[in-house]
């Protein structure tokens, strides 16, 4: 995994949250941001929660489908267990829980 400075982590993580907010707006998906936590909420009440973990330079994603920790590697956010791509896991969760195609 590539090493980011803490400053680079903060910039990339913040840009990721902003990109997700814009994508949610594009498909009329409710999103709520409280500091470093972004919650996507579906009409069914299901949620996907994305939050920053600046103490360890990670991005976390959680829903009833699972919880994942990501570190920046190879120009992307990669799951720390299996190396899966953040965008792909987020798109899959949004599709499964809300039936929406998130344009990331």
Q: State yes or no: pLDDT of 2 exceeds 60.
A: no
Mean pLDDT for the stretch of residues 29-41: 97
Indicate the pTM of the whole model: 0.92
Mean pLDDT for the stretch of residues 45-57: 96
Q: How high is the pLDDT of residue 27? A: 96
pLDDT more than 90, % of the chain: 91
CB 45 within 8 A of CB 39: no
**What domains appear along the chain, each with residue ranges and CATH number?**
6-98 (3.30.920.10)
pLDDT tens profile 65-100: 999 999 998 889 999 999 999 999 999 999 999 999
How many CB atoms within 10 Å of residue 37? 13
Mean pLDDT for the stretch of residues 21-31: 96
3-state secondary structure of 94: helix
In the 8-state DSSP scheme, what is residue 91? H
Query: What are the φ and ψ backbone dihedral angles of 20, each rounded to 5 degrees?
Result: -70, -40
């Amino acid at each position: 995994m590539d090493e980011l400075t803490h400053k680079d982590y903060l910039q990339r993580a913040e840009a990721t949250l902003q990109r997700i907010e814009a994508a949610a707006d594009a498909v009329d998906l409710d999103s709520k941001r409280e500091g470093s936590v972004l919650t996507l909420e579906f009409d069914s009440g299901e949620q996907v929660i994305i939050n920053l973990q600046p103490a360890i330079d990670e991005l976390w994603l959680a829903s009833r489908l699972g919880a994942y920790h990501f570190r920046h590697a190879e120009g992307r956010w990669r799951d720390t267990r299996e190396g899966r791509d953040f965008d792909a896991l987020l798109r899959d969760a949004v599709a499964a829980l809300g039936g929406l195609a998130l344009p990331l």
